[in-house]
Amino acid sequence: MTLRYSILMFGLLMATIAYAEGPKSVHISGRILDNSSDLPLAAANVDFKVQILSSDNCLLYEEQHLGKDLSTSEGVFSISVGTGTAAVNVYAAAGQEQSRENLLKVFSNSSATVNALQSAHQGSESTVCSGSYTPAAGDIRKVKIIFDTGTGGARAILPYYQVGTVPYAMVAQEAAKAKDADKLGGVAAANYAKLTDLATEVPNNEDDPTVQTFAKNALPTCAAGEVLKSNGTSFSCVTDTGGAVAVATTTSTGIVQIGSGLSVTVAGLLSVASLPISQTTGLQTALDDRLQMSSLLQCTTSQVLIWQSASDTFVCSNISVTASQMSDFNTAVDARISSADTAAPKLPLAGGTMTGDLNMGSEDILASGHITMSSGKTLLLGNLTQVQEDALVLAAGHKGLSWYNSDMKAVRFYDGTAKQTVAASTSACADGQILKWNNTAKTWDCSADSTGAAPSDASYATKGILRFDTSAAVSGITIASGVANVNTGTGANQIVKLGADSKLPAVDGSALTSLNASNLSSGTVSATLLPTATVAKGGTGLTSGTSGGIPYFDSGTTMASSAALAANGVVLGGGAGAAPVSTAAGTASQVLRVPAGGGAPAFGSLDISLAATVGTSVLAIANGGTGATTAANARTALGLGTAAVATTGSSSGNVPTLGVTGMTANKMCTSDGTGTGIVCSTNIPATNSLVGSLTMLGATNCQWQLAPASFTSYTTADADCAAATVTGLASAPTEGKIPAIRFASLPAGDYEVSVFMYSMYPVDGGVYCRWRLWDGTNHSGTHGAYEDEVVHLRGFFSYASDQTNKTFYIQTITDTATKNCRADISIPSDDKLQIWVKRL
């Protein structure tokens, strides 16, 4: 369960560390409550992070206070800013973040400009740190408190606590002016008496007749331990005799003793520790006489004077004190503001009714729950022009925000992603008009149909109004109370509807025609109907048959079942109305033949010596015969000549003869290319032997690339590539410098084709390419790569007959149109293309 919390701030206090230094830390205390139950947070290990922000939400200072125990504090916490850990101060170097001087810079409006700042705004605030901050007179500081209980994540306390001028800051501002040699407290030095002037001013201006003339002169400088002594005409320095000293009284002169509230320091200075004004006779009266009202700024009723450090003056301000800064304030208010106070109704704490307008000025009412309007009352949305609307900065948290656009004359709202319009017609529609969308005004407006007239009836060719016949017997639609329904059932003029079991209800199918039995994928037909279905009705008329027999037509309209047929026999027809029969099974190498006397054929051996077997015909040479009935005629027909040997030579129709070298052991005979004979010295390709190979060394810019949607061969020659070398029966491709190998002739057999290339890869990221070998008819399996490389392709090809002009190509295909797949040997020192063909 995730808890949500609120906080009651008790105050922002200053903790003084020494008499002369002023505060070094800022004290913050408060209480954290659960929003849903108003119960205080009770957690034994709570981590706090405190951030000090500028008025435009720039982060100036940050520190942590870890492991605070709030398990028994009723949610109350207390933090002293300046005493935490992991401190960050934009005005200080590392290790000096929490010094008194650097902490004062965070709150001072006379500090220098700082740059490279982070923004700590909440997202919904109007100001966002620009990365630079220059303090200005009157600037406030914001205190952002983030706490983490270990569950539910870290939470920031909103709204941020704002820090303005505090009493100590006013005193500090006055003290700061002491640095100005010409002013003290904003008063020019000319208006104050200086010690250096007393020697001149006092004698010349003292007109008290009781003061003797010598007392108006400058006092003599005495040595240590001496005292002043008057002889009636002048002062002189004399040694203290240590004798009895007369103590002064109200009626006599003498030594004044130090009493209560006064003390003498080690340096011999008189110090006033705590001396009330009442102990100084006449001081209160003298102050009252000299502090005139005319010297103070005149304020309106109920205002107070507040010191403004920026202008070094007091200003009039209304009293503004939060409830948390006044002891027992909430209790007192709760006791006085209630629904029972009917004499002067106020905003009730719970329930009740208030009277009069609630004017919030420029403030917002947030998290107020549902707003329910009384009957007959209206809700007035704020008006925005299009320019004002365009200036709105909206985020996901503003989802549901609504306003009225006075330019568009429409209610607008934010759906968390974009600004939308509550579309409605701006006026009532006339007869025959339809609603059309106005994208400029974002409204539905009344307008005539595109034809300029009322909508017509629809057809296959034109749009319009579609109507249906209200007669249930015609359309199958019934209307009751303005609602159209399909007229379903199994009666006349009704539409059959599937039941809850997704099956047709019981209906009479006698009138169904043109049924196709092949379309019946499941279900059953009554067993009592099938046996009686005649041939004319698509049945067989049979209830059973003979095992091993076959059904046949015993007439034009009925069927019967034959006797069992012999295994491996041949079925013989019995004629019209007769049952078919079968022969006995034959044996190895027998043929089916008709007996010499005729009749049913049977399996037996073929005797070609019988005249009936060949008849009077001559077995043609094309059928394996001699084409003659005599030997002489056979030799002539076979072209054997008189010596029973065909004519030799190089002319057409002659038998070629061996060359002068004759036959060589373990060699293959091939034409010598001259037409005069056969040379029998060619090596016989052995199994797993190399038939031919092609090698092309790498060269700068030697590469091929395609972006085909279907497999396509690399056939465009690249002039940047090196010339290829070939071995065996191989030759270079007719297209030139491409990744392929060619064979003018290739004997029948099985072959393995291998290609090794430096790299084959997709040129563009996120693309999948495939490559394969292709001989113009067949291809190998494919190899694919996705942001990777392929370096080796291999395929298997089989040929039942000799092949001529056979070229093996590399093909590619890409899964993304216009994205290239590349074959590359463009680094001369490393790249190489090798293709070799082996016979298996």
Q: Determine the 3-state secondary structure of 399 from DSSP.
A: coil
Report, as an integer, the average pLDDT of 705-724.
Answer: 93
Distance in angstroms (rounded) separating the CA atoms of residues 632 and 621: 15
Angle, CA 94 vertex, CA 89 and CA 100 arms, to 5°: 55
Amino acid 8: pLDDT = 47
Give the confidence band of 92 by pLDDT, cuts at 50, 70, 90. very high
Find which of 488-497, 551-560, 594-603, 743-752 is predicted with most confidence, using mean pLDDT.
743-752
**What does each C-alpha distance from 409 to 401, 428, 433, 710 come to in angstroms?**
17, 15, 21, 55
**pLDDT for residue 829:** 72
Per-residue pLDDT band for 21 (boundaries 50, 70, 90) equals very low
Q: Which residue has the higher pLDDT, 14 or 764?
A: 764
Residue keyed to tokens 């029998």? 680
Residue 81 belongs to what H/E stretch? strand 76-81
pLDDT at 124: 73
Q: Are 833 and 825 in contact (CB under 8 A)?
A: yes
Buried b (16+ CB within 10 A) or exposed e, 728-751: bbbbbbeeebbbbbbbeebbebeb
d(C-alpha 510, C-alpha 372), whole Å: 68
Sign of CA dihedral 143, 148, 149, 153: positive
Q: Which residues pair with 745 in a beta bridge?
A: 804
Residue-level pLDDT at 212? 74
pLDDT range class, residue 512, cuts 50, 70, 90: low
Query: Which residue is listed with tokens 């077997």?
Result: 613
Among 77-81, 205-209, 599-603, the range scoring the smallest mean pLDDT is 205-209
Q: Return d(Cα 746, Cα 646) in angstroms, integer.
A: 30
The count of other CB atoms within 10 Å of the CB of residue 444 is 17
Number of H helices, E strands in the chain: 9, 47
Separation between Cα atoms, residue 14 and residue 25, nearest integer Å: 7
Rounded Cα gap, residues 419 and 401, in angstroms:
9
* Euclidean distance between CA atoms 189 and 801, whole angstroms: 122
- pLDDT tens for each residue of 520-574: 556 666 655 566 677 777 778 787 888 888 898 888 888 888 888 888 889 988 8
Predicted confidence (pLDDT) at residue 788 exceeds the cutoff of 70: yes
Q: Are 307 and 314 in contact (CB under 8 A)?
A: yes
Give me the mean pLDDT over the 314-327 stretch.
73
* pLDDT given at position 695: 95
Mean local confidence (pLDDT), 807-821: 90
244 is written with which tokens? 């009895």
Which pLDDT score is estimated for 572?
86
Token readout for 474 is 């015609």
Residue 289 identity (one-letter amino acid): D
Are 838 and 689 in contact, with CB atoms under 8 Å apart? Answer: yes
End-to-end CA distance of the chain: 72
Looking at residue 814, the DSSP 8-state letter turns out to be E
Q: Provide the pLDDT confidence category of residue 577 given band limits of 50, 70 and 90.
A: confident
pLDDT at position 756: 93
The CA distance from 166 to 716, in Å, is 84
Single-letter amino acid code for the residue at 829: S
DSSP per residue, 207-228: --TTS-GGGGSPPPPPPTTEEE
Lowest mean pLDDT among 440-454, 740-754, 766-780: 440-454
pLDDT of residue 129: 92
Positive or negative, the Cα torsion across 131, 133, 138, 144? positive
Is the separation of the CB atoms in 400 and 417 below 8 Å?
no
Please report the pLDDT score of residue 714 as a whole number: 95
Q: What is d(CA 66, CA 44) in angstroms, rounded to the nearest whole number?
A: 11
| Mean pLDDT, residues 91-98 | 91
Distance between CA atoms of 52 and 57, rounded to whole angstroms?
9
- Closest residue by Cα to residue 832 from 642, 644, 690, 702: 702
What is the arithmetic mean of pLDDT over 196-210? 63
Q: What is the pLDDT of residues 429-482, one digit of tens each?
A: 777 777 777 777 667 777 776 665 556 677 777 666 767 677 777 777 888 877
What number is the average pLDDT over the span 586-592? 86
The residue among 366 and 619 whose pLDDT is bigger is 619
Q: Are 704 and 738 in contact (CB under 8 A)?
A: yes
* Whether 217 contacts 203, CB under 8 Å: yes
Report the relative pairing of strands 667-671 and 678-683 from DSSP bridges. antiparallel
**Bridging pattern class, strands 402-405 and 383-384:** parallel
Residues 83-108, mean pLDDT to the nearest whole number = 91
- Contact criterion met (CB below 8 Å) for 278 and 261: no
**By the 8 A CB rule, do 730 and 742 touch?**
yes
Both tokens of 772, joined, read 């394969």
12 burial type by CB count under 10 A (0-12 exposed, 13-18 middle, 19+ buried) = buried
Higher pLDDT, 179 or 65: 65
Alpha helix ranges (H) inside 78-139: 100-107
Say whether pLDDT at 88 is over 90: yes
Instruction: Say how far apart CA 817 and CA 778 lie, in whole Å.
Output: 25
Q: Which residues pair with 229 in a beta bridge?
A: 236
Cβ neighbours of residue 605 under 8 Å, at least 6 residues apart? Answer: 589, 590, 591
Judge residue 411's burial from the number of C-beta atoms within 10 Å of its C-beta, 0-12 exposed, 13-18 middle, 19 or more buried.
Answer: middle
Max mean pLDDT among 268-277, 352-361, 450-459, 688-697 falls in 688-697
- Identify the residue with better confidence: 78 or 206: 78
Parallel, antiparallel, or unpaired: how do β-strands 678-683 and 821-824 relate?
A: unpaired
Give the strand pairing for 703-706 and 749-762: unpaired
User: Using an 8 Å Cβ cutoff, are 592 and 586 in contact?
Assistant: yes
8 Å CB contact between 618 and 628: yes
Alpha-carbon distance 59 to 249, whole Å?
65
The answer to pTM > 0.75 is no
Q: Is the pLDDT of residue 216 over 90?
A: no
Residue 635's pLDDT is what?
81
Tally Cβ neighbours within 10 Å of residue 712.
16
Q: State residue 786's pLDDT score.
A: 81
Residues 382-393 have a mean pLDDT of: 92
pLDDT-based confidence at 18, cuts 50/70/90?
very low
Under a CB-based contact definition with an 8 Å cutoff, are residues 749 and 797 in contact? no
Nearest to 763 by CA among 787, 792, 793, 782: 787
**pLDDT category of residue 725 using cuts at 50, 70 and 90:** very high
- What is the model's pLDDT at position 429? 77
Reading the block at residue 141, the tokens are 């500081």
For position 430, what pLDDT does the model report? 77
pLDDT score recorded for residue 658: 61
Per-residue confidence (pLDDT) for residue 304, from 0 to 100: 82
pLDDT of res. 339: 46
Distance CA 824, CA 831 (A): 8
Name the one residue in this structure whose structure tokens are 């656009």: 405
pLDDT for 164? 75
Indicate if the pLDDT at residue 808 is higher than 90: yes
Residue in this structure with the two tokens 């007109």, named with its chain if needed: 207
The pLDDT of 289-316, averaged and rounded, is: 74
Please write the tens of the pLDDT for every residue from 217-245. 778 888 887 888 888 788 888 887 665 55
Amino acid 37: pLDDT: 74
Q: Letter for the amino acid at 414? A: Y
If you count them, how many residues does the chain have?
A: 840
**Mean predicted confidence (pLDDT) in 792-809:** 93
- Element (H or E) spanning 335, and its range? helix 329-336
Mean pLDDT is highest, among 313-317, 323-327, 664-668, 832-836, for: 832-836
Question: Is 206 a residue whose pLDDT tops 70?
Answer: no
Average pLDDT, the chain: 78
DSSP E strands in 319-400: the ranges are 383-384
Helix (H, G, I), strand (E, B) or coil at 5: strand
* Whether 623 contacts 641, CB under 8 Å: no
Say which residue the tokens 């390709």 belong to.
685
Q: Tell me, what's the pLDDT at 562?
A: 87
Output 737 or 312, whichever has higher pLDDT: 737
What pLDDT sits at residue 740?
Answer: 96
Q: Which residue's entry shows tokens 């034994």? A: 44
Structure tokens at 666: 């373990």
Residue 589 neighbours by CB under 8 Å, 6+ apart: 605
Residue 491's contacts (CB-CB under 8 Å, 6 or more residues apart) are: none
Question: Residue 613, Cβ neighbours under 10 Å: how many?
Answer: 10
